[in-house]
Structure 1
C-alpha cells in the first residue's frame, strides 16, 4: 500500500489524457476507477482507483429502512425544550394574572405560594376533609374545582382551582400537524372516549369532579388521555358560578383574558419553505398530492401505460394499448372515486377488466407488475363523507372542499364551515374534520400540471407529454469545469433535494470527481452505478427487508428438509434454491410433468432454468427461474416457453402446471406463470436494446446522479460533439457487474477464495473498475457469451469473457494494492451538550480507612435496577422493602417484573404508597453543573469532541507525550468565546503536537489507521484503531494489536495524516 507523504503531482496541462471514469456510489461510499482509453476509445490501462468512505446522510439501519435523520434526536430535544419553556411562560402568565386580580396570595415563587395556600386550605377544611393523609395533597385541587361548581369559594380558593385547571389543558388535535400512525391516534381517541363514559357513569359534570371522586391510592388520576374540550367546559362552568358571587372580579374582559391565556394554542410554523421546487417550472412550488388535479395526473399516467392482451377464439392473441374509448372509460371510473374501487381506493386487473368489459381470459399488464393501481384517493375519501352530495358539486366546488381540508388547521372551524358552506350534517362535518388526505407532493407545480395534462389526456406517455409542453427542458447548457455544490446547481431537481441520504452521497461524489479532474482532466465518459439502498425509497427498503426475512425462514425450512431426506448437513445455496423451486412447482417438472424426487433434484436429473433466457433478460432472480428435466432443458435450448411449446399439444398442460405456482409463492408464482406466455414480441418489447437499458437506469436517485454529472458536459448527452450526439453519462443497473467481476477473476484480489468480500473497503474500487469497463461493446459480447454458457455446480451461469487487455488482471491487482482508502472526517462542533441523567452534587462519605470518598445520588425506576444497584439504594427502609418484594416475585432475575407490581411503603396512617423510583448511590462520576439557581443540575458532560496531544520534558530530561481530552461542551464554549476549537497552548512547558478526533488517520506501526475512540486516563489514554481498509463493524474486529496506549504511539513516532478524497496522503500539519 502506498503511503507517500506528498500529493501525487498533477498531470501537466499539455498532456491530454483520455480516460473513462467508473463510479460505484453507495449510501456511505464512493468507489472510483480511471481507466485509460486509446484514441479510438478502447480501454488499455488503469490510471488509478480509489475508495472514499463517509457517514451516511441518516443514522440507523438504512438497508432495512429503519434509518432516521441525524437531526431527529436534536430536533426532538429542541422541541421538548421549547414546549417546556412555553408551558413555563404560560403558567407564569396565568399565575401573575391571578395574583393581579387578588385570586392568589402575593409572592415571587409559584411553588412556595401554592404550597402555603394548600396548607392553609387543608387546615381550614380539616373537618370537612376528614383526614390529613398523603392522598389529600393529590385530591385537594380537584375538590376545590368540584366545590366551585356549587358554592361560593374565597378568591384564593377560586384562584387555586383555576390555576390547577391551567396546569394541564388536555389534547387538542391540529389537523396540519405531522400525521401520526393510526394506532397512536386511535389510542388517544379511545382513551378520551373511555374517560367520557366513566364520567357519564358516575354522574360527574366535569373532569375535576370525576377525578375528585377517585382514591389515588387505589387508582391513578394522572396519565389519562383528556381532551381540551373537557377543560373548556369545566372552566366555563366554574366561571359561571363564581361570577354570580363576585361579578366585580369575574368580569367578561377578565374571562376572555384568562381563557385565552389558558387555552390559546399557537399555530404550527409554516413549512412551505420545505416544499420542493417544480422540476419543470422554475420558481414554482410542487403541488400537493391530494389535489384532484394531482390525483388525475397519476391516474392518466398509469392508464396510458396499461397494456391489455386479448385472447382470440383460435388461441392467438395480441398485446395492445387501450383504445381511446377504453382509456376514457377507465380514467372516468378511477377519477370519480366511485364504487368500482376497493376499500383502499384501488383497483386490480379483474376490476379493470370489469370496467372495460373485457373477456375474463384477457390479461392486464400494469407495466411494473403492480397488483393494483390507485384511483382518485381524494375523491374516494370525500365521497364516503359527502355521499350523493359529492356528485352535485361542481368541479370548482370540489377543489374548494379539498383546499379546506388541506389548509384549515382548527377542527372546530372546519366543522362550522362544512355545516354552513357545504351543507353537511353535524356527523358528516365531524367526519370531514377527521379526514386525512394523501400527504406529500408530486414533482410538478400546479402551473406545470395544467400544461402537461392536455398532452397526457391525448394518450402520450409522461416523457412525451413533458417534451410537448416544455420542449426546452433537457437541452444542453454550458458545460462546467467542476461540479458545483448541490445548492448552487442551476438544476432545480438538484438544488432542492430533500433526501439526506442522496444529498450526502452526491456531495461526496462531487469531492471525488472534482479531485480526479484536477489530477487527470475531465473524463471522456463517466459510467456510474448506484447501490440498491441508495436507489430505493425507505418504504421499498422496509418491504425488501421483510421479504428477505420471510425468504430466510423458507430457506431454513428447505435446509431442514434436505437434512432429513438427503442427509446433507451443509447444503449449498444452489441446493436450497432447487428445493424452493421444487416446492413452488409441486415437485413436478412444469415442462414434462415428471415427478421430482429429492434424489433426482440434488443429483442433477433436474436442472434450474431461466424462464426467459438469461442471455435475453439478464434476470437471474428467483422470479425468472424454475426447474426442468435435464434432457428436456437441453432440447428446449435456451428458448422461452412460448417459443418452445406454444405450437405443441402439451402447451395447455404446461400452462396449467405453471398456473399452480401461485399456490405456494403467491404473486411471484402468478408472475412466473405470466412469463410462460410471453410471446417473442412481448419479450422483445420488455428487453429490447439491452445495452441502452443496462446503461440508462431511470430511477430517482440514478437520474439525479446522472443529471449532476451531466453538468460537466452540458447535459448527459454531449451535443457539442461535432461527429454526433454522444451519451457522456451512463448509469448502469448493476445486473452484470457481479458476472463480469467473476469472469475477470477480480474477486480473488481481496479474497483468495474467489468470492467477493465486503470486509475490505477497497471492494468499492474493484466494482468501479468493472463499471468503468461496462461499455456497450462489453455488454454485447456478454450477451452473446451468455447464450452459449452452461450452468456450473453452484447454479450460476459460467460466462467466459476475455479480459479487456492482456495484463488486465495483474494491473487491477496492482492498482487495488496501491489504494489508500479515504475516510471523511467531521470535526463539526454539534451534538448534545451533556447526557440526560441528572445527578446530585457530590456527597462526602467517610470510608473504613478514614478517607472522604465522593458519591452521587441518581433516581432510577425500580424495575430497571440491577441487583448491585438495589444494594446501593440510599434509604435503608426503602432498600429492605424493595429486596423483600424482589424475593417475593422470584429473586434477582425477576427484577423487571416489578413494573406494575411495585413494592409498597406504608405511610404512618397505614396508607399504601407504591415505590416506583428510588435514589441510588453511585461512585463520584465526573459531572458538571449546568444551569443556575433553581435550574442548576449536575450532569455528565457527554461525548468527547477531540483529544489534544502534547509533549513535555520531565525534570529528569525524559520527553513524554500527554493528552488533554476536550468534551463537546467545552468545544462549544470555546467557539462561543471565539477561541480556537483546538487549543495549542497548555502551560508553557507542553509543546503541541497534534489533535485527534474520531475518523482521523494516523500512521502507526507502518500502517495507516483510523481513530475509532479513546478511553481510560484522559492524560494517558488508550486508543481503539482500525486499519483504513477494514470495513468490518467494530465488534467484529479482533482487539489484538489495535489498542495502543499513548506511550505506544510515542515510541512508534505516530504521525497524524490527511487523506484527500482520492487517496493522496499528506502531512496533517495540525
Structure 2
C-alpha cells in the first residue's frame, strides 16, 4: 500500500510516462484531473467539491456515461483528518490515539487485506521440507535460475551432427550478459557468442530470463548498484522485499542507505516478481557454488563419476534407509488449496484403512489428473487449446470444401494440423502435399520415435508423411533410417528447422535407438510424476519406505485393463466408461495388481506387438463384477455456509400493478412477450410499435445502432419497467429478502439464493410429511446469531432445527450430495445422492454411481411425500467405504 505523501506526489508527476501501464496511466491522469478541479473550485476536500456540483445529479465513475470521476485513498484520508480536527473540540475526552491505534477508526476504514500470500501459505522446499520456498525476487534465486539455463545451453553443430556445450569463456560471457539483461533473446545470444543465425540452440523455445531484480534496481541506481559489494546488494534487496510500508521503506533508504529522496521514491515504486521458487534459500545457497562451477542441476554418470549440482551439494537421489511410521502424520501444506485438500483426504482414508486392516506392505499410486494447474500453466494451456480449436475449425472447413462430408474424424483433424505445421510438406521427403491428399490414405500419421519402442503417443511424437516414406522408415527413428544418406538427412534437417513452436518434436528427429534405451522408459513411466503424485509418493513413503511406493501412468495399465476384460463391467461397450464413478475402482484393482515385473513384461510384449497378460487369478473378473454391483460411491456432502445469500437482480413492488416490477434493458433478447409486460402503457405502446416495424424480431429491433425514442423524439428509451409476477405484499415479506434505504423504507425485494438444506418433518396426528427448506441466508443467520425475520431472537442456533413444535416430528435433514436410498419391489434398495433441493416440496436425486447429470434415466424428481412413502433413508459412508444408516439424520 502506498502510504507516503511524497511517493504519491511523485506518482502524479510521472503519470504521463510512456513506460506505465496504459490503463493505470489513464486512472492516474483522471485522479490528477479531479485533484486540479478540487483546487480550482476552492474546496478543501473531495466531499466538499462533490457537494458543490449540481444538486441531485448522481455522480458515477462510468466512462460510457461520460464520467471519469477517479479518486484515490489519500483523498479520503485527508478528508477524515480534517473532519477529526473539527470534531476533537467536541470530544475532548477521547484518547489522543483514538484515530491512530490498531483498532482505531483509520484501521477500520482503510485496512486493506494484503494481496500477497502470508508466510503460512508459502509452500515448503522440496529439498529442505522444514523451510519455506524463497521469493523469486531474491538475488540468490535470480542467479540460481539463470545459472541453470547457462549451464544447460547447447548449440547444434551441423558438421558433426551433435549438440555441444559452450566453452568456459563463452559461459562467462553468458553469465555477465544474463546478469545485465532482464530478458534474453536467442538472436542476441547468437550475436554475443559469434554464432550464425542458422545455428540451433537447444533452449530456443524457452523464455530465458536474466537477473530481473538487479536490472530493475540498476535502472534506478545506475553505477552505484554495481559498486555495492555482494553483501550490500543482498541487504538492499532484503530491505526492498521485506519492508512493506512505503513510508518506512523511504525513510530506511534515505537514512541508512544515504539515497536522495527522489531515488528512494523510485526504489519504493519498483515491482518485483511476486512468485516463489520451488526451493528454500537454504537449499539454493547450497546449490549455487556448484552451479557457478558449471555443473548442471542434476546428473550422475556411473562411468565417469560426474555429478550434478544436486548430487554434489549432498542431495542424493539414492534410496536411503529411512524411518517409517505406523500411520500418516500431518501432510506438508502447499500454496495450492486443491493439493492440500487431496493430501488431507489421502491421510484420512489411509489412516482409517490402517486402523481397520493394518499397515500395508506395498503402496501403488496412479494419478490421472494434473492438479498443478497454476495461473501460468492455465494460460499456456488455454492458448494451446485456442490454437488447436482454430486448426480444427480449419480442418472442418477444408473437409467440407472437398465435399467429403461435414464432420472429419479425429485423425483427419490431426492430419490437417500436422499438414499446416509442416508447411504443407511431407516430413520425410519434403514434397508438397496437396490439400486433396491430406484426408486420403496416400498420406499417414507416423510416430517419429517408433511407438513400439517409445510408447510415446503424444502429439509431439507425430508427423504427416507419404505412405512410401513411412514404409522406408519402418520401425526406426528418422536418424537411424536416413543419417547414412547425407543428402537425404540434410534435406530433412533443413526442412524441420523451419517448423515453428515444436522444438521438442524436432529434437526427436535427432534421437537414435541407443538414445531411447538411455531414456529408460520403464523407469520414467514409474517415476515421472506431476506435483500431486510426487507429494503423495513422498507422503506414503512415511509408512512403507521409498522402495515400496510407486507412481505409474495409465498408458500400459489401460491396455492391461482391456486385456483382462474389465472395460465393459459397468458399460455396454468395450470402452472405459467415465460417466460411472466406479471406473476409479476398476482402475484401483488394476493398479494394485500391476507390479513392476508385470509392468516390465507388458512393455516388452507391446514392443513385440503381442500383448497377452494373464489376470492374477482366473475368477477375478467375476469377483470384481459382484463387488461393483454392491458398490456405493461416496460424495462429499455440501454443508458449508458458502454460496449466494440472495439473487443479484432486485424487483420493486407497485401496488396498483399488483406485483413485482423490475427494470430490463432493451436488448436483442427483449421479446414481444416482455414488451406486453411493460407497466407504463405509453412506453409499452412505443416499444410494441417499434418491434412491429422490424417484424417483431428483437435482434433487428434492438441492434446496437437502433434506438427507441420517447414521444419527444429526442430522449432514447434504454430500460423499461416490466411486471415480473402477480403477488401480495404479505407474500413478498414472507418469501423475499427486503432491501431498505437509509430511512428504513423497503424499496426492492430479492429472491433468496441457494438452499442450504431441507428439514423433513412429519405431522404426528395425520402422518403427512413436509419439507422446511432452509436458505443459505437463514442458515447463516442461525450460525452467526443475526437477528432478522429468519431468526427473530437473534441467538446462535444449530444449523439444523429439530424442534418444529409439538405437532411435528423431525425425520431428517438433507443437504446437497447427501447419500439416500429408496426401496424397490423385491425388497432391494437403490442408492442416490441428493442433486437438487426443489422448493417448495420436492427433491431431485441422482444415482450415486453417476458422474454426470446428462442422463435423465439416472435421475428422479419426486415430492418429499412420495419419496417418504417409498422408504427414503439417509446414509453415510465412512473413510474405508462402509455404508451405514445415518442415526443422527442431521
TM bucket, shorter chain: 0.7 to 0.9
State the secondary structure of the residue aligned to 1:1044. Answer: strand
- Deviations 1:868-897 (Å, cap 9, x if unpaired)? 7887788x6xx7568758977988948988
- Alpha-carbon distance between aligned partners in 1 of 2:324 and 2:358, rounded to the nearest angstrom: 14
- 578 and 258 in structure 1: CA distance in 2 versus 1, 3 angstrom threshold: closer
- Deviations 1:790-835 (Å, cap 9, x if unpaired)? xxxxxxxxx7343434637734761563352423333545236832
Q: Equivalent residue for 1:31?
A: none
1:962 aligns with 2:770: yes
- Alpha-carbon distance between aligned partners in 2 of 1:869 and 1:415, rounded to the nearest angstrom: 60
Among 785, 804, 807, which residue is 2:615 paired with?
Answer: 804
- 455 and 811 in structure 1: CA distance in 2 versus 1, 3 angstrom threshold: farther
Among 333, 336, 354, which residue is 2:177 paired with?
Answer: 333
1:192 aligns with 2:9: no
The equivalences for 1:531-546 within 5 A come to 531-546=368-383
Per-residue deviation, 1:1043? 0.6
Among 476, 479, 484, which residue is 2:324 paired with?
Answer: 479
Q: Equivalent residue for 2:154?
A: 308
Q: Equivalent residue for 2:834?
A: 1011
1:952 aligns with 2:774: no
- Alpha-carbon distance between aligned partners in 2 of 1:434 and 1:900, rounded to the nearest angstrom: 47
Q: Equivalent residue for 2:865?
A: 1047
- Deviations 1:945-966 (Å, cap 9, x if unpaired)? 22222333545xxx33333323
Q: Equivalent residue for 1:402?
A: 237
- Alpha-carbon distance between aligned partners in 2 of 1:882 and 1:222, rounded to the nearest angstrom: 31
1:390 aligns with 2:225: yes
Where structure 2 has 5 or more consecutive residues not aligned to the other structure, the ranges are 1-7, 13-19, 63-68, 299-307, 786-794
**What TM-score results when the alignment is normalised by the length of structure 1?**
0.66
Per-residue deviation, 1:698? 3.9
Greater RCO structure (CA 8 Å; 6+ sep): 1
Q: Is the 8 A contact 2:150 2:174 kept in 1?
A: yes
- Alpha-carbon distance between aligned partners in 2 of 1:917 and 1:410, rounded to the nearest angstrom: 49
State the secondary structure of the residue aligned to 1:755. Answer: coil
The equivalences for 1:22-171 within 5 A come to none
Q: Is the 8 A contact 2:666 2:718 kept in 1?
A: no
- Deviations 1:901-937 (Å, cap 9, x if unpaired)? 999999xxxx999998979785333036799996797
Among 477, 484, 491, which residue is 1:653 paired with?
Answer: 491
Q: Is the 8 A contact 1:761 1:821 kept in 2?
A: no
Among 621, 631, 645, which residue is 1:820 paired with?
Answer: 631
**What TM-score results when the alignment is normalised by the length of structure 2?**
0.78
Per-residue deviation, 1:588? 3.4
State the secondary structure of the residue aligned to 1:995. Answer: strand
State the secondary structure of the residue aligned to 2:805. Answer: coil
Q: Equivalent residue for 1:988?
A: 806
Q: Is the 8 A contact 1:1024 1:1044 kept in 2?
A: yes
- Alpha-carbon distance between aligned partners in 2 of 1:1001 and 1:765, rounded to the nearest angstrom: 19
Among 521, 531, 537, which residue is 1:690 paired with?
Answer: 521
Q: Equivalent residue for 1:590?
A: 427
The equivalences for 1:248-397 within 5 A come to 271-281=118-128, 284-304=131-151, 306-311=152-157, 315-334=159-178, 336=179, 338=180, 341=181, 345-357=182-194, 362-366=199-203, 370-397=205-232
Q: Is the 8 A contact 1:903 1:914 kept in 2?
A: yes
Where structure 1 has 5 or more consecutive residues not aligned to the other structure, the ranges are 1-168, 174-180, 718-726, 790-798, 848-852
Per-residue deviation, 1:227? 3.7
Among 836, 844, 847, which residue is 1:1027 paired with?
Answer: 847
1:731 aligns with 2:565: no
Among 480, 501, 504, which residue is 1:667 paired with?
Answer: 501
Per-residue deviation, 1:969? 4.2
Per-residue deviation, 1:215? 5.6
- Deviations 1:848-881 (Å, cap 9, x if unpaired)? xxxxx7x567x7576699777887788x6xx756
State the secondary structure of the residue aligned to 1:835. Answer: coil
Per-residue deviation, 1:294? 1.6
The equivalences for 1:681-830 within 5 A come to 682-685=515-518, 688-713=519-544, 715=545, 717=546, 727-789=547-609, 800-805=611-616, 807=618, 810-811=621-622, 814=625, 817-818=628-629, 820-826=631-637, 828-830=639-641
- Alpha-carbon distance between aligned partners in 1 of 2:443 and 2:649, rounded to the nearest angstrom: 68
Q: Equivalent residue for 2:790?
A: none
- Alpha-carbon distance between aligned partners in 2 of 1:1066 and 1:309, rounded to the nearest angstrom: 65
Q: Is the 8 A contact 1:1058 1:1068 kept in 2?
A: yes
Per-residue deviation, 1:172? 10
- 441 and 401 in structure 1: CA distance in 2 versus 1, 3 angstrom threshold: same
- Deviations 1:287-315 (Å, cap 9, x if unpaired)? 321111121122223334x1524526xx3
State the secondary structure of the residue aligned to 2:71. Answer: coil
Q: Equivalent residue for 2:791?
A: none
- 216 and 801 in structure 1: CA distance in 2 versus 1, 3 angstrom threshold: farther
- 1008 and 446 in structure 1: CA distance in 2 versus 1, 3 angstrom threshold: same
Per-residue deviation, 1:1060? 3.1
Q: How many residues align?
A: 819
Q: Equivalent residue for 1:502?
A: 339
Q: Equivalent residue for 1:59?
A: none
**For the aligned residues, what is the CA RMSD?**
5.0
- Alpha-carbon distance between aligned partners in 1 of 2:124 and 2:744, rounded to the nearest angstrom: 44
Q: Equivalent residue for 1:150?
A: none
Per-residue deviation, 1:346? 2.4
1:927 aligns with 2:736: yes
Q: Is the 8 A contact 2:155 2:163 kept in 1?
A: yes
Per-residue deviation, 1:422? 6.0
- Greater CA drift, 924-933 or 275-284: 924-933
Q: Is the 8 A contact 1:309 1:317 kept in 2?
A: no
- 743 and 571 in structure 1: CA distance in 2 versus 1, 3 angstrom threshold: farther
- Deviations 1:625-674 (Å, cap 9, x if unpaired)? 113333432332211111111111311112223234x2xxx212x44333
Q: Is the 8 A contact 1:873 1:921 kept in 2?
A: no
The equivalences for 1:187-266 within 5 A come to 187-193=26-32, 195=34, 220=59, 224-228=69-73
State the secondary structure of the residue aligned to 2:831. Answer: strand
State the secondary structure of the residue aligned to 1:533. Answer: coil
Per-residue deviation, 1:282? 6.4
1:579 aligns with 2:413: no
Q: Equivalent residue for 1:110?
A: none
State the secondary structure of the residue aligned to 1:736. Answer: helix
- 772 and 263 in structure 1: CA distance in 2 versus 1, 3 angstrom threshold: closer
Q: Is the 8 A contact 1:638 1:787 kept in 2?
A: no
- 1052 and 535 in structure 1: CA distance in 2 versus 1, 3 angstrom threshold: same
State the secondary structure of the residue aligned to 2:370. Answer: helix
- Alpha-carbon distance between aligned partners in 1 of 2:144 and 2:133, rounded to the nearest angstrom: 13
State the secondary structure of the residue aligned to 1:752. Answer: coil
Q: Is the 8 A contact 2:291 2:309 kept in 1?
A: yes
Q: Equivalent residue for 2:16?
A: none
- Alpha-carbon distance between aligned partners in 2 of 1:273 and 1:984, rounded to the nearest angstrom: 40
Q: Is the 8 A contact 1:481 1:712 kept in 2?
A: yes
- 777 and 327 in structure 1: CA distance in 2 versus 1, 3 angstrom threshold: farther
Q: Is the 8 A contact 2:371 2:531 kept in 1?
A: no
Q: Is the 8 A contact 1:863 1:898 kept in 2?
A: no
Per-residue deviation, 1:1052? 1.8
Q: Is the 8 A contact 2:148 2:291 kept in 1?
A: yes
- Alpha-carbon distance between aligned partners in 2 of 1:555 and 1:912, rounded to the nearest angstrom: 48
State the secondary structure of the residue aligned to 1:650. Answer: helix
